[in-house]
Amino acid sequence: MQFALTPEQKMIQKVAREFAEKEIEPYAAEIDETGEYPMEILEKLGKLGFMGLAYPKEYGGSGAGYVAYALVAEEVAKACASTAMTLGGNASLASLPIYAFGTKAQKEKYLVPMVKGETIGAFALTEANAGSDAGNQQTTAVLEGDEYVLNGSKMFISSAGIAHTYVVTAVTGIVAEKGKKIISAFIVEDGTQGFTFGKKENKMGMHGSYTRELIFEDCRIPKENLLGKEGDGFKIAMTSLDSGRIGVGALSLGIAQAALEEAIKYSKSRIQFGKPIAKQQMVQVMIADMATEIDCARMLVHRAAWLKDNGMPFTKEGAMAKLYASETAMRCASRAVQIHGGYGYMREYKVERLFRDAKICEIFEGTSEVQRIVIAGQVLK
């Protein structure tokens, strides 16, 4: 069993760490405070090739794989989780379905610029009545001549309003004998007539990652923007989420690692009862637990990424990685705040932001409860 990173992966990790420390970390607090995302950081991530790590060179990527992508996502998230969230939405969740199910023409038109970081992609599945119950879609797409007409809305969509390309699921029919909805997936370009956005959501955390509603009112898109075949939409969504969970696991790792490093730094400098609180046994217990859980989470994330890179099934492992890493991020952020005491509750300290950013990791791309359902289903089948 090999736990060591390859020389290429180590180099990618080093470049990502240096970039995050120099180009992202100094602006992270401002991004959180203003909620305005500096697009120049995304452009630089694209130029470094970090948007295309998981895709082959023929589509503008490097073919470095998902382990490399997980390393980059962790380093970026350690500096700014909002930036890592936007990176993941483009580099994994939106790009993967086009790569896996798109035609050659769709890949050349939409995937290549996304992989190069020239455009941003978003993935739109969630609706008001279709959260964990993703099959309960209400948005419809009706074929009229050479166009599909979309009507409905999507909510809680990351990068909405700044993305250029959207992968959108919609109902295209009903299986009469079963009453089951036929769900298909489409590529929708920003600026298409009948496609607008709702308000920017005011969230607990991840302030630098835009979240808005997508609204479709007689939105006409060419039929060649159907992704895969009619009825493939649910399969496309689940395939995308399987891979996306690796990204969320890596993002969660970055938050957890940042929380640990902040807790160590503060505990060594904070003097109480005549000595640094790092000398207090209860603080040491919290730090030891954080370090152990982060290592466990990292192994789960890297295993899932390795399985994907090697063409092996990873649905269960991806769900385990997302579940454990996200809950580890929440626990570590909470402990870091506790170690900081009253200061940890103040916004000038990074751990306060980490705590707020961590919570969504237990919710989006499948809640912790959904991950346990997925895991149990794989174990019991």
Secondary-structure class of domain 235-380 per CATH: mainly alpha
CATH superfamily placement of domain 7-120: Acyl-CoA dehydrogenase/oxidase, N-terminal domain (1.10.540.10)
Listing DSSP states for 272-326 in one string gives ETTEEGGGSHHHHHHHHHHHHHHHHHHHHHHHHHHHHHTT---HHHHHHHHHHHH
Place of tokens 């998981």: 54
Q: How far apart are CA 22 and CA 36, in angstroms?
A: 19
- C-beta separation of 301 from 325 below 8 A: yes
pLDDT at residue 326, as a whole number: 98
**Structural domain spans, the chain:** 7-120, 122-234, 235-380
Would you state the structure tokens that stand for residue 365, as one six-digit string? Answer: 């791309």
Burial state string for 75-95 with b = 16 or more CB within 10 A and e = fewer than 16: bbbbbbbbbbbbbbbbbbbbb
Q: How many CB atoms lie within 10 A of CB 169?
A: 29
pLDDT at residue 241, as a whole number: 93
- Residues of the chain short of pLDDT 50, as ranges, are none
Place of tokens 């060419």: 222
- Name beta bridge partners: 157: 212
> Closest Cα partner for 374 from 324, 311, 306, 328?
324
Q: How far apart are CA 231 and CA 327, in angstroms?
A: 34
Counting Cα atoms < 13 Å in the Cβ hemisphere of 364 gives 27
pLDDT at residue 244, as a whole number: 94
- C-beta separation of 318 from 246 below 8 A: yes
- Name beta bridge partners: 369: none
Longest dimension (CA), the chain: 79
pLDDT at residue 216, as a whole number: 98
Q: What's the burial of 285, exposed, middle or buried (CB within 10 Å: 0-12/13-18/19+)?
A: exposed
Q: How far apart are CA 151 and CA 323, in angstroms?
A: 34
The strand pair at 180-189 and 147-158 is best described as unpaired
**Whole-prediction pTM value?**
0.96
pLDDT at residue 231, as a whole number: 95
356 phi, psi to nearest 5 deg? -70, -40
- C-beta separation of 122 from 190 below 8 A: no
pLDDT in tens, 243-266: 999 999 999 999 999 999 999 999
Q: From the options 2.60.34.10, 2.60.40.10, 2.40.110.10, 2.30.30.40, give the CATH code of 122-234.
A: 2.40.110.10
95 phi, psi to nearest 5 deg? -75, -40
Q: How far apart are CA 253 and CA 353, in angstroms?
A: 15
User: At residue 63, what is the residue type?
Assistant: G
Q: How far apart are CA 154 and CA 166, in angstroms?
A: 11
Burial state string for 267-284 with b = 16 or more CB within 10 A and e = fewer than 16: beebeeeeeebbebeebe
- Name beta bridge partners: 149: 142, 220
Residues classed as catalytic: 365
pLDDT at residue 176, as a whole number: 63
Domains 7-120 and 235-380 share a fold: no
- C-beta separation of 325 from 253 below 8 A: yes
Cα four-point dihedral sign 344, 348, 351, 357 = positive
Q: Which helix (H) or strand (E) holds 42?
A: helix 39-47
Q: CA distances (Å), 20 to each of 16, 71, 298, 313, 358, in order? A: 6, 12, 19, 32, 18
Place of tokens 């989780």: 81
pLDDT at residue 381, as a whole number: 86
